[in-house]
Amino acid sequence: MNFTCGRNLRLTLFGESHGALVGVTADGLPAGIPVDESRMQAWLDLRRAYGDLSTARREEDVPRVVTGVFEGRTDGGPLTILIDNKAQRSGDYPERVFRPSHADYTACAKLGGYNDYRGGGSFSGRMTAPLAALGGLLSACLESSGVTVGTHISQCGDVRDEDFSEELTELAQQVRDMAGKRFAVLNEERGEEMQALIREAREDGDSVGGVLETAVCGLPAGVGAPYFDSLEGVLSRLLFSIPGVKGVEFGLGFGFGYLRGSEVNDMLTSEDGKVLTKSNFSGGINGGISNGMPVVFRTAFRPTPSISKKQQTVDPQTLEEKELELRGRHDPAIFHRARVVVDAMTVIGLFDLMLERDRDVWTGSL
């Protein structure tokens, strides 16, 4: 199986939910990037389970940067982040079981039964922890390039948050505001309603799905490519790597199917020698390349498949049907913790694409 991605920034993710640790090594980083571990920790903290909205498995999640840093800056070698697993409780997984809508069966089918089935093994959402830490680190590089990324919970059940503003200055402020929020919404009242929905699901031994909306501000025109490295393609590949993501749309996305070109073409204008568009139905991307407007997209999460209600499954050995009651510690919803992972994936994808901007145009020498 493949756990690597990226062309200029090359990541390999490794670990298992109930093994010794999870980690990532990032190859291709320029030397000299300041490594701010508190920022990694901050992003990890946003991802961490907390309160009654999340699993009772509470990992400390302290990132250890074991290679690639010298005197506080990247040293040109791969930067490796390890996060120890401490709160695993394998007694919860005494034997292989096929949990409905989990990867248990598909992993087993693919790997001939050799997969570590405890807590999903290397299919676990726990693998996103080192990515969140790395995202925190790289987000500082993007910010020093004038690029900020932020995500809010757009929808959960029938509750819908406000949309990100179409006004550039206001949007920039909203994106910044998301950084410090535990439960990231624009409208706090709606946030309360969403949390109530999650709690309700938890009490029912059930779970809920949701949709996140992400905006990237300050991205210059010219990032991405047509075809295989389109901004949409690179980001969606990373976003679909987050366990539970089942849909990604940019700008109007599926809404385009109802509309005419004359209604959704973004007219061009200019300001201070910079090309802008009067609307942003395209979500900041044309032909796979950023156009200088905010990049806006939405990511759909399925309800966590781990629920404690009775479910029907088959026995891994005999394939006979049987009932299943899951024990263990589960998240009644995942999207509110995953939003920092969406930010991290976005940062990682943009960083990779931006690393090669220097060679888009021939300057007369190498």
| Subset of residues 121 to 140 that bind a copy of itself, contact rule: CB under 8 A | 121-123, 127
Q: Does 177 bind a copy of itself (CB under 8 A)?
A: no
Contact, 298 vs 211, CB < 8 A? yes
Torsion of CA 320, 323, 327, 333, to 10 degrees: 100
- Show contacts with a copy of itself in window 191-230 (CB under 8 A): 201, 204, 206-211, 221-230
Please select the residue that binds a copy of itself; options are 192, 268, 325, 327, rule is CB under 8 A: 268
**What residues between 306 and 345 interact with a copy of itself by CB under 8 A?**
306-307, 309, 311-314, 319-321
Minimal distance in Å, beta carbon 336 to a copy of itself? 13
- In the window 277-296, what residues touch a copy of itself (CB under 8 A)? 277-278, 281-283, 285-292
Integer-rounded Cα Rg, in Å, for the chain is: 21
- Indicate the length of the chain as a whole number: 366
Three-state DSSP at 189 gives helix
Q: How far is the C-alpha of 128 from the C-alpha of 113, rounded, in Å?
A: 23
Q: Does 94 bind a copy of itself (CB under 8 A)?
A: no
Please report whether residue 55 would count as binding a copy of itself according to CB under 8 A: no
Pick 90 or 173: Cβ nearer a copy of itself: 90
Burial 18-34 (b: 16+ CB within 10 A, else e): bbebbbbbbbbbeeebe
Cβ-based nearer residue to a copy of itself, 14 or 50: 14
- Rule CB under 8 A: choose which of 66, 162, 196, 203 binds a copy of itself: 66
Give whichever of 120 and 180 is closer to a copy of itself, judged by the CB atom: 120
Assess contact for 159 and 194: CB atoms under 8 A: yes
- Residue from 44, 133, 215, 252 that binds a copy of itself (CB under 8 A)? 252
Window 14 to 53, contacts with a copy of itself (CB under 8 A): 14-16, 19-23, 25, 27-28, 30-33
- For residue 67, the SS3 value is strand
Question: Which residue in the set 54, 155, 174, 346 belongs to the binding site for a copy of itself (CB under 8 A)?
Answer: 155
Distance CA 70, CA 231 (A): 33
The tally of CA atoms less than 13 A away on the side-chain side of residue 272 is 0
* Nearest CB to a copy of itself, comparing residues 91 and 261: 261
Paired strand residues for 276: 269
